Structure 1
Amino acid sequence: MVNFARKSNILAFNFETPTPGSAQDKIRMSARGLRLAHNMTQQALAEKSGVPLSTLKRFEQSGEISLAALLAIAGALGAMDAFENLFPKPAAESLEELGSARVDRKRAGKR
């Protein structure tokens, strides 16, 4: 990763293409860091989130976790807003596209 930014600058250049593994690693490290910033033990977070302690420990070590458990942990840490923009709607690229925008699709078209 190339980072031209100073520590105080929130803008950084990252020329690496993220992989599922690197994203998984970043999520587990961020969750652990947020837990520690809240001064919570793994046991306290497990109790607050309803996620078994063994699941939380495995997640912090390997990144392996179910979506339901991840959402429960995020909720307990006050980080649910991070999921709001996980799959953003595509923006219109022209006035024509904007004018012909339809109601949200429920299914993909036939091929």
Structure 2
Amino acid sequence: MNFKDLIEDDLKTFVNPDEFGEPAIIEGESVIVVPDADKMKERQLAKGLEGELHNEELLFYVEKSQLSFYPRPDNTAVIDGVKWRITDVQEDAGLFTITVELISG
């Protein structure tokens, strides 16, 4: 087993619904996501936004291989029937970190 295989095994554990993962529907696709409210708070604090948020935001991880599209900032995505605007996307070791904000109206 090489290092890449070990990372892939760790990733499978991380997104496992019996561990941290939760089922979600993103753009009609059934996927497993790992929400991270703590990381979202860290980012808000770093931006000095604590207590000033007017938009609901989410940060979650999803395996790149589970999505048939590449999420891009400023695009919209329907997640569990709710329309969100993608504000940030990071990719690392086959995993997307996606931040979205609720589109009101």
- Which TM-score band applies after superposition, normalised by the shorter structure? under 0.3
Choose between structure 1 and 2: higher helix proportion. 1
Query: When the two structures are superposed, what TM-score results if normalisation uses the length of structure 1?
Result: 0.25
Choose between structure 1 and 2: higher strand proportion. 2
> Rg larger in 1 or in 2?
1
**Relative contact order (C-alpha < 8 Å, sep 6+): which is higher?**
2
Query: When the two structures are superposed, what TM-score results if normalisation uses the length of structure 2?
Result: 0.26
